[in-house]
Amino acid sequence: MNIKVISTTKTFKTLNSSFKACDEVSLDINQGDFIAIVGYTGSGKSTLLSMIGGILRPTSGSIYYDSFKISDASQSDITVFRREYFSYIFQHPVIIPNISIIDNIVMPLIFKSEITNEKIEEVKEYIDAFGLKSKENMKAGLLSGGEMKKVSILRALAYGCDVLIADEPTNDLDPKTIKVLVDIFNSINKKGTTIIMVTHSHSIASQAKTVYEMSNGKIIRTLK
Ligand SMILES: Nc1ncnc2c1ncn2[C@@H]1O[C@H](COP(=O)(O)OP(=O)(O)OP(=O)(O)O)[C@@H](O)[C@H]1O
Ligand SMILES: [Mg+2]
C-alpha cells in the first residue's frame, strides 16, 4: 500500500490566534519504506503522524492510502481501515492499568480474530526480548514509565500490520531494549512492513532508509 500526503496543513486555533503545526507537507511513502522524521520539539512531527494515522483531520490537503482518502473518510471507516492496515506506537504510552501486561498486548488482536497459540508464542518471545518475562502477568498499571512504553510498543508489534507508525518509540527505553527494538524494526521492514518513525535520535533515525527533517511545520530537507 502506498501513502500519499499531498500539501497537508494542520492549523490549531486558540482563542485569538491560529498556529500552523503542519504547513503544506507533501510526502510519498511506498510499501516497504522505512522513513524517519527528526526535528526540534514542537516542529510538527506528532501532528503529521496523527494525520497520517487518521487521528487528526487535516485543515487542508489530502492523505491517501492507495485509493482510500483517509483525510476525508468518516470516523467509522477510518477505524475499520486502521484495524486492518496499521499499528501505532504513540509518543505517550497507552495502557489499560487494571489488566495484565500480556492482556494489554494481545487485546487488540481480538479485532483481527488472531489470538492463536502461535501468536501467543510470538508475543511471549517479544516480551522476553524486552525483559518483561517475569512480569507478564502483573497489572500494567504497576509498571514504571519505561516499562509502560515497552508494553505499548509490544502491543503495536504484536498487532503487526502493513504499516507501523512509531512516534518516538525509543524514548524512555534503556540502550539494550533500544537495540532489540531497532533489530525488530529492521526485521519486520525486511519482511515488507512500512515504518514511519519519529525520533530525536539521529543514530536511531539513521537505521531508516530515508530521513527527513521537520522545522516549523515543514519538511525542510532530506538528510538521508
Ligand atoms: N490540539 C492542539 N491545540 C493547539 N496547539 C497544538 C495542538 N496540538 C499540537 N499543538 C501545537 O503544535 C505544535 C507541534 O506539536 P507536535 O506535537 O506536532 O510537535 P512535535 O514535533 O511532535 O514535538 P515533540 O518533539 O515535543 O514531540 C506545538 O507547538 C504544539 O503546541
Ligand atoms: Mg511529538
Q: Is 217 in the pocket of ligand 1 (CB under 6 A)?
A: no
Residue 131 main-chain phi, psi, to 5 deg: 75, 25
Q: What is the CATH number of the domain that holds 92?
A: 3.40.50.300
Nearest Cα residue to atom 30 of ligand 1: 42
Q: Which residue matches cell numbers 494489554?
A: 104
The pTM of the full predicted model, rounded to 2 decimals, is 0.95
Residue from 45, 201, 215, 216 to probe ligand 1 pocket by mutation (most atoms less than 8 Å from CB) = 45
43: containing domain: 3-222
Say how many domains are in the chain.
Answer: 1
> Does 199 sit in the ligand 1 pocket, CB within 6 Å?
no
**In a structure prediction context, what are the per-residue pLDDT tens digits for the chain, which is 224 residues long?**
999 999 999 999 988 899 999 999 999 999 999 999 999 999 999 999 999 999 999 999 999 999 999 999 999 999 999 999 989 999 999 999 999 999 999 998 888 777 888 888 988 999 999 999 999 999 999 999 999 999 999 999 999 889 999 999 999 899 999 999 999 999 999 999 999 999 999 999 999 999 999 999 999 999 98
How far apart are the CA of 32 and the centre of ligand 2, in A?
Answer: 23
How far is C-alpha 155 from the geometric centre of its chain's CA atoms? 11
> Could you identify the residue written with the cell 503545526?
21
